Amino acid sequence: MSEPAGELDRTFHALADPNRRAILSVVRNKRCAVGEIADMLGLSQQIVSHHLKVLRAAGLVTGARSGTRHLFVVRVEGLAVGKGFFEDFWPERLSALKRAVESSARSSDG
Amino acid sequence: MSEPAGELDRTFHALADPNRRAILSVVRNKRCAVGEIADMLGLSQQIVSHHLKVLRAAGLVTGARSGTRHLFVVRVEGLAVGKGFFEDFWPERLSALKRAVESSARSSDG
């Protein structure tokens, strides 16, 4: 694993909440203000602000001023940390399964 | 997302701990007893048992008796829940980035 442990802790902790995952879905493809996210999800602005703070600390969203508004959007590099965990984890396990299937196919041939 | 929210909550909560991720790495390719995992990671059996309980509740490991021993191994279907989250999340975002890059390339052409 190339990412420091703390980064994966924060990534997975941030993703372990349905409201935070819903917020990520909202800001996946477009920049949104807190109020827009709150309206779209039927949550209070206070709750959305709290979750955005956790998501920002985990590097999963980024915020920037646009005129007088503060807009949030998914941070792809942050999501890549979590995605990378599964990609690092996967190939060996699949190889092991493949070996197991092949070896059991050989046993039933014999 | 096809998985119920609670399942993703448990998956990501379980993965948000470096010891639990270390245990998953140990049991990724072979079945291990609690004592073997504890020795390999330099943790107490009590701590390992606790973490295995969380990992089992999240469906990330499975345990089975082998003679007098109780052996644990990664549950691929459980990992697939987390992996699926990133896969569901990814393609649209990448398409959006591609469109953004193309549109900015067009702007600088004009």
Structural domain including A95 reads 5-109
pLDDT at B90: 73
Mean pLDDT comparison of A83-87, B7-11, B95-99, highest-scoring range: B7-11
Q: What is the pLDDT of residues B25-52, one digit of tens each?
A: 999 888 999 999 999 999 999 999 999 9
Q: How far is A69 from chain B (nearest CA, A)?
A: 21
- % of chain B residues with pLDDT over 70: 80
CATH number for the domain spanning B73: value is 1.10.10.10
pLDDT one-digit tens code per residue, A21-39: 999 999 988 899 999 999 9
Cβ distance A7 to A81 under 8 Å? yes
Q: Give yes or no for residue A109 having a pLDDT over 80.
A: no
Residue in B85, B87, B94, B95 to test binding to A, most A beta-carbons within 10 Å: B85
Query: Considering CB atoms only, which of B10, B24, B93 is closest to A29?
Result: B93
Residue A21 near chain B (CB below 8 Å)? yes
B31 to chain A, minimum CA–CA distance in Å? 12
A8 and A82 in contact (C-beta within 8 Å)?
yes
Q: Is residue B1 over pLDDT 50?
A: no
| CB within 8 Å of chain B, chain A residues 33-62 | none
Does A90 lie at the interface with B, CB-CB under 8 angstroms?
yes
Residue B43 pairs in a beta bridge with none
Domain count, chain B: 1
Predicted pLDDT at A3: 56
Query: For an interface test with B, which of A2, A51, A83 has the most B Cβ atoms less than 10 Å from its Cβ?
Result: A83
> What's the 3-state SS for chain B?
CCCCHHHHHHHHHHHCCHHHHHHHHHCCCCCEEHHHHHHHHCCCHHHHHHHHHHHHHCCCEEEEEECCEEEEEECHHHHHHHHHHHHHHHHHHHHHHHHHHHHHHHHHHC
pLDDT at site A98: 61
Encoded tokens for A107: 């046993």
Write the pLDDT tens digit of every residue in B71-90. Answer: 999 998 999 999 999 988 87
Average pLDDT of the residues in A14-24:
97
Q: Per-residue pLDDT tens for A48-106? A: 999 999 999 999 999 999 999 999 999 989 999 999 999 888 756 556 666 676 677 66
Contact A29 B76 (CB under 8 A): no
Reported pTM: 0.81
Q: Does B26 touch chain A (CB under 8 A)?
A: no
Kindly identify which residue of chain A lies nearest to residue B17, measuring between CA atoms: A9
